[in-house]
Structure 1
Amino acid sequence: MPDVYTANRAHRSEFVQLRGLRQHLLHWGSPQPGRPPLVLLHGWMDVGASFQFVVDALQGEREIVALDWRGFGLSETPDADCYWFPDYLGDLDALLDALSPDAPVDLVGHSMGGNVAMSYAGVRPQRIRRLVNLEGFGMPDVSPAAAPERMARWLDELKTPPTLKPYATLADVAERLRKTNPRLAQDKAAWLAGHWARETPDGFLLNADPAHKLANPVLYRKAEVLACWQRITAPTLWVEGSDDQLTRFWGGRFPREEFEARLAVVANLQRRVLQDAGHMLHHDQPEALAAVLQAFLDGP
């Protein structure tokens, strides 16, 4: 293994019961008068520890919490064959009830976490003081006509449940992280590998329920998502990397113009682009992202 990144701010690992599941939190700092908690939501096939590099670069003292979503990281896996977005909103609501029942929080979400954050901020606008979406583009709208085929695909996949590939060593896990994102520094990949995977008799397995890889039988409905986004009242910051991986991944299935039209419904929106960064911008440019977050969260 190469040199391993040394965290500047050690996190506390905590477990809480949220909606009947034992879920894992990474906790930095302590409550500060006049400063709301900062809550960080990771993306699909990721973990809360993914935010460590940005947390290290933030200035000043405040309470910061990163949640491992159900079925990810060290959080418990539900007894289910599928993961539904309403459950993510339910878990977040329960977390905020426990963390800050009487005051709004600052909420930052990356990718899938950004989409959850946006929907939640529209459903519970009074719970969010400032909102940040890091590359949470959402997905293409799906026609209702696709429902039978999607449901059939899900039923077929249930017959042969997915599995996750084991890795021989943590160094192999780190290399896998860098293969997905070549901008990720080796020392950071080595540090993340220990949080991204666990040792088993068969090798190192990712801390993720394989059921996440099943086709979701619930269609993505743009109209429902935008109905939530239109109700967001918190000042909102959209941040993306200069390497437009959205277009490369989706192509004509989700044109950039379609996403721009979605953002237009958010009333109080600021936008920033981080140079030399892709989808994992919190890994690629943690110091630059921390500066952008700091200016937005501490601004007037």
Structure 2
Amino acid sequence: MYTPLIASRTETIPVRGLTYHVHRWGQNTNASAPVLVLLHGWADVGASYQFIVDALGESWVGERAVIAPDWRGFGATQPPSPVDTYWFADYFADLEVLLDHYAGDGHPVDMVGHSMGGNVAMLYAGIRPERIRRLVNLEGFGLPDGRPEQAPKKLRTWLNETAQRRNGEITIKPYASREAVAQRLMKTNPRLSLDKALWLAGVWAKQALDGQWHLLVDPAHKISSHTVYRTDEALAIYREITAPVLAIEATECSLTSFWGGRYTLEQYHQRLAQIRQHTIKTVDDAGHNLQHDQPELIAQWMKTFFA
């Protein structure tokens, strides 16, 4: 099993009625180095960045405070009582409290976001541009443009699914062993080696009293969004971003498999063009979880970009 090169520690802080679990690396020996904030994607955990942290190296990481929170309803950040839905805007408010705690007022941070975390990071960088110094977006593509006529169906679906969740009809299946969880991860990402998959299984799932391994994902996250995605609104926020943005994508483009042509890489690049300073880099031999597939290369680009 993979052995981390740079040990992490976990802290808890109160965030808007939740006990947020935050993974930390580094000793912050350089007081002028910005805090580095790593934001994970949907159904993932903050510890998922361990391979990139190791690739950054002990010397580089040691100068900084590096944090990776478990988003609400993921990892160890679970609600004190059952909920039947999650709201995307809560990620912005949670992130703001985290930045207040770890960076304080007037200290812009460096930020990396993967997938859903990349979407949160991009929008937050336009909502609070003064708080972000530099931003790396790992395949945080956004969504296909929505249409007003989708609203009635989306709301009906949301109402139906929240009722199903309250009735215990929406669940996440457990696995018989850590090895079974690892196999599930490797099925999703064939490039993932067994040693890394076994390690990730231990932070992505937890063995319960029933002996089975349960994914650390609140089933309420499976509820469909009730909102219609408005590209024009997202672009208005993108135009407020002042931080340089490094957008990293994999050669095995996930947009095709996600949306089947309804949203293309060309359209994503057109959206990025709304940002004042942006650079696009492509990682070879990588899929959507490129932070697992090519951590050394991404770490190298991060160190150059954040220098």
Normalising by the residue count of structure 1, what TM-score does the alignment of the two structures yield? Answer: 0.96
For 1:87 and 1:289, the matched residues in 2 are separated by: 28
For 1:173 and 1:136, the matched residues in 2 are separated by: 25
Identify the residue that residue 186 of structure 1 maps to in structure 2: 194
Amino acid at match of 1:47: V
In the TM superposition, what is the alpha-carbon distance from 1:23 to its structure 2 partner? Answer: 0.6
In the TM superposition, what is the alpha-carbon distance from 1:158 to its structure 2 partner? Answer: 2.2
Q: 2:99 aligns with which of 93, 96, 99?
A: 96
| SS, match of residue 229 in structure 2 | coil
* Contact 2:52–2:291, Cα closer than 8 Å, also in 1: yes
1:232 aligns with 2:229: no
Identify the residue that residue 33 of structure 1 maps to in structure 2: 31
What does 1:14-163 correspond to in 2, within 5 Å? Answer: 14-31=11-28, 32-59=30-57, 60=60, 61=62, 62-77=64-79, 79-102=82-105, 103-161=107-165, 162-163=170-171
Amino acid at match of 1:98: H
Q: 2:296 aligns with which of 281, 287, 291?
A: 287
Map Cα deviations across residues 158-192 of structure 1 (whole Å, 9 max, x no partner).
Answer: 23221001100010001100000010111010001
In the TM superposition, what is the alpha-carbon distance from 1:144 to its structure 2 partner? Answer: 1.4
| SS, match of residue 242 in structure 2 | coil
Q: 1:10 aligns with which of 7, 12, 15?
A: 7
For 1:72 and 1:88, the matched residues in 2 are separated by: 12
* Contact 2:9–2:25, Cα closer than 8 Å, also in 1: yes
For 2:19 and 2:78, the matched residues in 1 are separated by: 5
In the TM superposition, what is the alpha-carbon distance from 1:5 to its structure 2 partner? Answer: 0.3
| SS, match of residue 160 in structure 1 | helix
Residue range with higher mean Cα deviation, 167-176 or 221-230: 221-230
For 1:291 and 1:260, the matched residues in 2 are separated by: 23
For 1:128 and 1:69, the matched residues in 2 are separated by: 19
In the TM superposition, what is the alpha-carbon distance from 1:249 to its structure 2 partner? Answer: 2.3
User: How many residue pairs end up in the alignment?
Assistant: 295
* Contact 2:46–2:68, Cα closer than 8 Å, also in 1: yes
In the TM superposition, what is the alpha-carbon distance from 1:95 to its structure 2 partner? Answer: 0.2
Unpaired segments of 5 or more residues in structure 1?
A: none
* Contact 2:251–2:282, Cα closer than 8 Å, also in 1: yes
In the TM superposition, what is the alpha-carbon distance from 1:30 to its structure 2 partner? Answer: 2.2
Identify the residue that residue 215 of structure 1 maps to in structure 2: 224
For 2:162 and 2:108, the matched residues in 1 are separated by: 40
Amino acid at match of 1:163: T
Map Cα deviations across residues 231-268 of structure 1 (whole Å, 9 max, x no partner).
Answer: 00011100011111212321221122321211110110
Identify the residue that residue 176 of structure 2 maps to in structure 1: 168
In the TM superposition, what is the alpha-carbon distance from 1:101 to its structure 2 partner? Answer: 1.0
Identify the residue that residue 284 of structure 2 maps to in structure 1: 275
Residue range with higher mean Cα deviation, 272-281 or 30-39: 30-39
- Moved >3 Å (runs of 4+): none
Map Cα deviations across residues 70-121 of structure 1 (whole Å, 9 max, x no partner).
Answer: 0000012265322111100000000000111131100110000000000000
| SS, match of residue 25 in structure 1 | strand
For 1:88 and 1:146, the matched residues in 2 are separated by: 24
Q: Percent identity?
A: 53
For 1:167 and 1:242, the matched residues in 2 are separated by: 31
Residue range with higher mean Cα deviation, 195-204 or 128-137: 195-204
* Contact 2:85–2:162, Cα closer than 8 Å, also in 1: no
* Contact 2:78–2:218, Cα closer than 8 Å, also in 1: no
Map Cα deviations across residues 126-168 of structure 1 (whole Å, 9 max, x no partner).
Answer: 1011111000001111111111101111111223221001100
For 2:287 and 2:174, the matched residues in 1 are separated by: 26
Residue range with higher mean Cα deviation, 243-252 or 98-107: 243-252
| SS, match of residue 137 in structure 2 | strand
For 2:34 and 2:93, the matched residues in 1 are separated by: 21
